[in-house]
Amino acid sequence: MSTFQNELRNDDGYEDVVIIAVGQTNISSFNSGFTANSDLPLVMDQYPDLSIREQFNGQHKELVILDVDGTLLGRITLNSGVNTTAKTYIRNILAENYEQFVPGDVNQDTLVNVQDIILIVNMILSSNSDSSGDVNQDTMVNVLDVVQVVNMILS
Amino acid sequence: MWILFFIVTLFPLLSQQNSCFTEDINHSRSIYSIGDTLSVEDQNFLYPVCNGSDNYTTGDSFSFSDLNGNTNGGDYKVSLISMNATW
């Protein structure tokens, strides 16, 4: 799974994608097994409550996709691992939504960098702005949007 | 005798300290379908991180609001949550 995360970030340019693994703790091999072999953050969903799984009505090996405000975009059960079908499903959802839910990517190259800052500054100076520059979604394109993009880059 | 005492009393305590759990996990939550947005309460609920990576270290707390740029200062993340009953 962490390999797929690297593919999404490095090969596809979805650098703001994170994969979080969720597990339960009544498994004796929890620490010695999974956590020793994973590069992903592992979040504990405590047995028997399993509240994360419950709120998504999730199944074993199910993966859910959330956008930046916590909206559930899709779900797929990975019974055969992260195979081609699963990768295609996930990539299709990202392709449909990623630019829309990554504020700051003004030029929509899937990256937030200095080029986006330049575009926003040009919008401000020319008074010819559009919604893509309104990073903080306050209906105005101004220095606050520049600051927010700078913070994104620095973080 | 001391070995038996250790096994019966101390070992469970030590094991508990090394495990990753929270005492109060009970809170009311909604069930979400595709298109639904997690409530603020559910996004803010804290879960323990048992294996650190990226911006997390082992022992940190995780919440879905960590990934929400509107609540974390502008660090927007699209998240894939992989749920597993067993490892």
Asked if B33 and A72 touch (Cβ cutoff 8 Å), the reply is: yes
Nearest-Cα distance to chain B for A128, in Å, is 24
Q: Which tokens belong to B58? A: 């082992």
**pLDDT tens for each residue of B44-79:** 999 888 877 777 888 888 999 998 877 887 778 899
Asked if B41 and B65 touch (Cβ cutoff 8 Å), the reply is: no
pLDDT band at residue A38, thresholds of 50, 70 and 90? low
pLDDT at position B38 over 90: yes
- CB-nearest to A152 from B26, B74, B84 is B74
Give the mean pLDDT of A107-125: 87
Distance of CA A150 to the CA centre of its chain: 19
d(CA A28, CA B60): 21
Residues 14-53 of B with CB under 8 A from A: 18-22, 25-27, 29-38, 42-43, 45, 47-53
pLDDT band at residue A100, thresholds of 50, 70 and 90? low
d(CA A68, CA A63): 16
**Nearest C-alpha in B relative to A15:** B77
Greatest extent of chain A over all pairs of C-alpha atoms, in Å: 62
Q: Residue A76: how many CB atoms within 10 A of its CB?
A: 18
pTM of the model: 0.70
Q: Of A126-130, B13-17, B21-25, B71-75, which has the strongest mean pLDDT?
A: A126-130
The interface pTM score, or ipTM, of the predicted complex is 0.74
Q: Of A87-96, A135-144, B11-20, where does mean pLDDT reach its minimum?
A: B11-20
Give the mean pLDDT of A43-72: 87
d(CA A153, CA A135): 13
Average pLDDT of every residue of chain B = 75
Q: What angle (nearest 5°) sits at the alpha carbon of residue B57, between those of residues A58 and B74?
A: 75
Q: Residue A73: how many CB atoms within 10 A of its CB?
A: 19
Structure confidence at residue A29 (pLDDT) = 52
Residues 61-80 of A with CB under 8 A from B: 61-75, 78
Report domain extents, chain B. Answer: 47-87
pLDDT at position A26 over 60: no
Is A103 an 8 Å CB contact of chain B?
yes
